[in-house]
Amino acid sequence: MSILQKIADIEAEMARTQKNKATMGHLGLLKAKLAKLKRELITPKGGGATAGEGFDVAKTGDARIGFVGFPSVGKSTLLSNLAGVYSEVAAYEFTTLTTVPGCIKYKGAKIQLLDLPGIIEGAKDGKGRGKQVIAVARTCSLIFIVLDVLKPIVHKKLIEKELEGFGIRLNKEPPQITFRKKEKGGVNLQCAVQQNELDLELVKTILAEYRIHNADIVLKYDATADDLIDVIEGNRVYIPCIYLLNKIDQISIEELDIIYKIPHCVPISAHHKWNFDDLLETMWEYLNLCRIYTKPKGQLPDYSAPVVLHAERRTIEDFCNKIHRSIIREFKYALVWGSSVKHQPQKVGKEHVLNDEDVVQICKKV
């Protein structure tokens, strides 16, 4: 029996099974089996999957954004109007067949845009070229899911399902679960808060499917079986996502007001270039970047080319490594002007955390 057939059988069984306290263990086991089969589908047992021709694009700039969507929703038009890159545009489906890269500069940061070929239903199962498309999407800092405003909900759910099947979690935080394998001692479960779904029996059932019989697990919040499986699998990526509802020129103002209330959504018209300023501002917020300006000794700060860091990695050490790896070896101290320090300037060490638009002068050992 093929992997796809096994997956279909398990999904059918899960749909048939009533969800209650008595069936929790059985459902948990099915979910674990399903996750294992999907992993086999992504990376076959014979080794790593080969990259598709035209899909492996070199990563450039400070961040990478992937445009994902069904064929003919306006991804190529949007890229052409945002970055001035010509990606073949036509009124029929499947015009774009390989990844088309573009680049925009916004608030001093260089952002790479990738127009990925249209996803079709069943992409995670290898249909069309969806497998390679989603593999590139896994490497992005942010995903734009481009939807046709006239059929957004249907397409949104289908694309989310395809991405979820590939281990991409949209607008979610990694589960607060500590998982550590050990040599002996059985399964030890600690819960910081009361659990509604997971108990020791269910945890043991899921771990047994992975042939893990000795492990320490700490649940720091009310977790689900899916969260535990994600942690055990260890190959999930958590990516922020914005839903772009394109072709708003075809709907009424009243409908637009309703659409604006949907979370993580930005209504646009790629053809008429409507609402691009709101799109770029939301993009900057979701990318979570901060700009640090350099100041050579005895000169004015250089505000034209900031060093762009991610908000989670913005210490002086990260700043030095972004410029060149050798700087940190000669580092003595840094002078910082900006909102991250009390005095202007202030002498700081390499552990100091910077804020957006700080000015930094590095002083090396003599």
Q: What is the pLDDT of residues 310-343, one digit of tens each?
A: 888 889 999 999 888 888 888 899 999 999 999 9
What pLDDT shows up at residue 293?
93
What pLDDT shows up at residue 246?
87
Please answer whether residues 194 and 235 qualify as being in contact, where contact means their C-beta atoms are separated by less than 8 angstroms: no
Distance between CA atoms of 89 and 80, rounded to whole angstroms?
9
Distance between CA atoms of 279 and 268, rounded to whole angstroms?
8
What pLDDT shows up at residue 335?
93
Give the mean pLDDT of 224-228. Answer: 88
Of 361, 202, 200, the C-alpha closest to 296 is 361
Interacting residues of 215 by C-beta distance below 8 A, sequence separation 6+:
179, 180, 181, 182, 187, 188, 207
**Tokens encoding 299:** 């000169």
What pLDDT shows up at residue 148?
84
**Tokens encoding 24:** 């929790």
Of 87, 138, 148, 140, the C-alpha closest to 117 is 87
Please answer whether residues 219 and 190 qualify as being in contact, where contact means their C-beta atoms are separated by less than 8 angstroms: yes
Of 270, 33, 69, the C-alpha closest to 160 is 69
Residue indicated by tokens 């004015």: 300
pTM metric for this prediction? 0.77
Distance between CA atoms of 256 and 152, rounded to whole angstroms?
13
Q: How confident is the model at residue 90 (pLDDT cuts 50, 70, 90)?
A: very low
**Interior/surface letters 112-124, b for 16+ CB within 10 angstroms, e for the rest:** bbbbbbbbbeebb
* Number of Cβ atoms within 10 Å of the Cβ of 237: 14
Among the listed ranges 20-24, 104-108, 187-191, 238-242, which one has the minimum average pLDDT value? Answer: 20-24
Distance between CA atoms of 311 and 29, rounded to whole angstroms?
38
Q: How confident is the model at residue 156 (pLDDT cuts 50, 70, 90)?
A: confident
Tell which phi-psi region holds residue 338, choosing left (phi > 0), alpha (psi between -120 and 50) or beta: left
- Judge whether residue 91 has pLDDT over 60: no
